[in-house]
A and B are shown apart, each in its own frame.
Chain A
Amino acid sequence: MTTTTIEAQHAVSIIVDHDKCIADKGCRICIDVCPTDILILDAGDGKVKMAYDECWYCLPCAHDCPTKAIRVEIPYLLR
């Protein structure tokens, strides 16, 4: 427990469907509405990814996504 930055072995609780995500076309809705500001653009493919393990599993990202590309899981420690 030294950082909440997502590492390779972290169980990510926000799952982004890369085929549906349109962040590479300029969409920023989920990034904008996230209360804890944990979503960023992946420098690789321009899609959205979870950058910090600070999710409140609240769902605005999923509900406001125009292409329904996001699925939120309960963070591993709570499941």
Chain B
Amino acid sequence: METTHLETDILIIGGGTAGPLAAIKAKQKAPHLKVLLLDKANVKRAGAIAEGMDSVNNAVIPGHATPEQYVKEITIANDGIVNQAAINAYAERSYDMIKELDAWGVKFEKDETGDYAVKKVHHLGAYVLPMPEGYNVKKVLFKQIRKLGVDVSNRLTTTRLLVGPDGRIAGAMALESRTGEFVVIRAKAVILCTGSAGRLGLPASGYLFGTYENPTNAGDGYSMAYHAGAELSGLECFQINPLIKDYNGPACAYVTGPFGGYTVNAKGERFIKSDYWSGQMMLEFWRELEGGNGPVFLKLDHLADETVSKIEDVLHVTERPTRGIFHEGRGTDYRHDLVEMHISEIGLCGGHSASGVWVDEHARTTVPGLYAAGDLCNVAHNYMLGAMVYGAIAAEDAVDFIAGKELAEIDPAAVDAEKERIFAPLLREEGLSPTQVEYKLRRMVNDYLQPPKVTTKMEIGLKRFAEIREDLKRLKARNPHELMRAMEVHAILDCAELAARASLYRQESRWGLYHYRTDLPERNDAEWFAFVEVKKGADGQPEFFKRPVPDYIYPIAKSELYAYDAMRLDQELAA
């Protein structure tokens, strides 16, 4: 087990969406700095947008939407629990980012006048910008990375961060998942861009890697930030998505909606007003399935053949192109068949819901010099473009942060302890396979954490998780690849435990299905109009506390705030 030592100015962990933008923007602002971009896969095809993206879900384009409208929409979509300053920081830069991506060669849909062809999918405003040729996003970003001289290192699974004696970030430690090398990287600033905790619940198919999110996003960043002492936020606000049953990928209503597609129940009737993904929409979806009106389907069979062909040209070419192979295998044709939908297993994701590492409007975490961007950080409903903008914000702030600073000292004892922890499963003669432990852990996540949340179930879940934590000491890996999986199981367990504890801490229901507690079914603004935060306490145990919602930049009337409650078609908003 060789140890390699690296030094850089700015270390970016995660080469998917936020990471490349962080690298590009750091180099644009300060070409003389050393910027190292790592990924556990290969930056060329890493992350949630490995095969591109079929639309921008949150474009804030003059003439179609203003930052004020957008910030209000997301505030309402997230039941008021947002830091508007952080969302506004995205909204203010949304349009410039689109124009810059456009200049680099990313294709967005435009109308005959050359204006961006924005569509309405959200409950209130219009923010969806289709990308029918969005399959080349990663290639476009990689070209910029190469042009600017960013150092890239692939197949490094980062396992822990290093913090200096003054509490400032000092670097990170990683496992090379092919050679089994141990890598210690010192850096003046670290930007975490490791994506969601997408391998948390077990897909109904039982296939461990059949997740909505890229399965390499195992929650490593959540675990690393937590162990480094950073504050995590909203871990009770789960990500649950309406997905193609069994395939477990998006259908995708954002693409089909503007063409006239919509969600129906078994009677062929529409039951939700807006297909935009929110906890409130998911609650109605769940009620329909549980109430005897299921299955639920995406309906496209009423559309003209020409329109369906256009939809296929997007859905079967970009983001998750195997949708076409899946439908072909079952003989499903959108022209005459409905697409059966279901509710996904749970995950944690700032980009889709609102759970992640706490950051301010500069992407700063609570650890000096440590930044978080993308699905990992809690900037609600931030999606792909939000990840890119936050990568940019983080990098530009990090350049200023490190000015005049030396590398922070690293603690050799922490390095030795981590090396011992990582390599224990390889050195052990025999033990449990990472696959088996992961399967059991994620099945327990389904059994005890999948909403609706029940107090007693979550308490039992915590007992099972504690037992599995003991099992981690018996993990056996036969090679570096299995060792990477073993370390991912550690991260998944951290996320499961923190998600259960955060859910128990927030004693109310909020965000529709995302935090629907059957024994506390009402929203309680008097006590819980706040973020639920967690950080690692001095005793090594998680410490939960409330963080007040900062004063709004754009005030919202109480009568407007819960507009997303009225998601069912036959229901009007109670004043």
Chain A, range 47-66, C-beta contacts under 8 Å to B: 51-60, 63-64
Whether the Cβ atoms of B207 and A79 lie closer than 8 Å is no
- Please, what's the 1-or-0 string for B408-442, where 1 marks a CB less than 8 Å from any CB in chain A? 00000000000000000000000001011001000
The answer to whether the Cβ of B246 comes within 8 Å of any Cβ in the partner chain is: yes
- Min CB distance B328 to A, Å, is 9
Whether the Cβ atoms of A64 and B45 lie closer than 8 Å is yes
Take A34-B41, A57-B322 as given contacts and tell me if A77 and B205 are in contact as well, using a CB distance cutoff of 8 Å. yes
Which residues of A lie under 8 Å from residue B485 when comparing CB positions? Answer: 4
The answer to whether the Cβ of B455 comes within 8 Å of any Cβ in the partner chain is: no
Which residues of A lie under 8 Å from residue B325 when comparing CB positions? Answer: 57, 72-74
Whether the Cβ atoms of B481 and A74 lie closer than 8 Å is no
Take A1-B435, A1-B436, A36-B209 as given contacts and tell me if A78 and B248 are in contact as well, using a CB distance cutoff of 8 Å. yes
Chain A, range 11-63, C-beta contacts under 8 Å to B: 32-37, 51-60, 63
- Min CB distance A51 to B, Å, is 8
- Min CB distance B183 to A, Å, is 16
- Distance of A79 Cα from B215 Cα, bound (Å): 18
Which residues of A lie under 8 Å from residue B330 when comparing CB positions? Answer: 79
- Please, what's the 1-or-0 string for B233-270, where 1 marks a CB less than 8 Å from any CB in chain A? 00000000000001110000000000000000000000
Which residues of B lie under 8 Å from residue A36 when comparing CB positions? Answer: 41, 209, 215-216
The answer to whether the Cβ of B83 comes within 8 Å of any Cβ in the partner chain is: no
Task: From the candidates B44, B210, B211, B329, name the one contacting A32 in the complex (CB within 8 A).
Answer: B44
The answer to whether the Cβ of A2 comes within 8 Å of any Cβ in the partner chain is: yes
Whether the Cβ atoms of B322 and A74 lie closer than 8 Å is yes
Q: Main SS of the interface on chain A? A: loop
Whether the Cβ atoms of B329 and A74 lie closer than 8 Å is yes
Please name the residue on chain A nearest to B213 by beta carbon. A56
Count: A-B pairs, CB below 8 Å: 96
Whether the Cβ atoms of A56 and B215 lie closer than 8 Å is yes
The answer to whether the Cβ of B51 comes within 8 Å of any Cβ in the partner chain is: yes
- Min CB distance A75 to B, Å, is 6
Which residues of B lie under 8 Å from residue A9 when comparing CB positions? Answer: none
Task: From the candidates A3, A64, A77, name the one contacting B433 in the complex (CB within 8 A).
Answer: A3
The answer to whether the Cβ of B335 comes within 8 Å of any Cβ in the partner chain is: no
Which residues of A lie under 8 Å from residue B320 when comparing CB positions? Answer: 58
Task: From the candidates A33, A51, A75, A77, name the one contacting B44 in the complex (CB within 8 A).
Answer: A33
Whether the Cβ atoms of B210 and A78 lie closer than 8 Å is yes
- Distance of A63 Cα from B318 Cα, bound (Å): 11
Chain B, range 480-510, C-beta contacts under 8 Å to A: 481, 484-485
The answer to whether the Cβ of B178 comes within 8 Å of any Cβ in the partner chain is: yes
Please name the residue on chain A nearest to B155 by beta carbon. A37
Which residues of B lie under 8 Å from residue A77 when comparing CB positions? Answer: 205-207, 210
Chain B, range 286-336, C-beta contacts under 8 Å to A: 320-322, 325-326, 329-330
Task: From the candidates A34, A54, A60, A78, name the one contacting B205 in the complex (CB within 8 A).
Answer: A78
Whether the Cβ atoms of A35 and B216 lie closer than 8 Å is yes
- Distance of A64 Cα from B177 Cα, bound (Å): 22
- Please, what's the 1-or-0 string for B28-49, where 1 marks a CB less than 8 Å from any CB in chain A? 0000000000000110111100
Chain B, range 213-231, C-beta contacts under 8 Å to A: 214-216
Which residues of A lie under 8 Å from residue B321 when comparing CB positions? Answer: 59
Which residues of B lie under 8 Å from residue A52 when comparing CB positions? Answer: 481
The answer to whether the Cβ of B208 comes within 8 Å of any Cβ in the partner chain is: yes
Whether the Cβ atoms of B41 and A78 lie closer than 8 Å is no
Take A34-B41, A36-B216 as given contacts and tell me if A59 and B210 are in contact as well, using a CB distance cutoff of 8 Å. no
Please name the residue on chain B nearest to A35 by beta carbon. B41
- Distance of A74 Cα from B247 Cα, bound (Å): 8
> Which of A2, A35, A51, A77 has the most CB atoms of chain B within a 10 A radius of its CB?
A35
Please name the residue on chain A nearest to B39 by beta carbon. A35
Whether the Cβ atoms of A78 and B209 lie closer than 8 Å is no
- Distance of A59 Cα from B246 Cα, bound (Å): 18
Which residues of A lie under 8 Å from residue B150 when comparing CB positions? Answer: none
Which residues of B lie under 8 Å from residue A59 when comparing CB positions? Answer: 51, 321-322
Going nearest first, the 8 A-B pairs with the smallest beta carbon separation are A60-B45, A33-B45, A35-B41, A77-B207, A57-B322, A54-B209, A77-B205, A78-B205
Seed contacts A34-B42, A35-B216; 10 additional CB < 8 Å A-B pairs:
A2-B436, A34-B45, A37-B178, A51-B481, A54-B215, A55-B209, A59-B322, A60-B50, A60-B51, A77-B207
9 A–B contacts, CB within 8 A, in A order: A34-B45, A35-B42, A36-B41, A37-B41, A51-B481, A58-B214, A73-B325, A77-B210, A79-B246
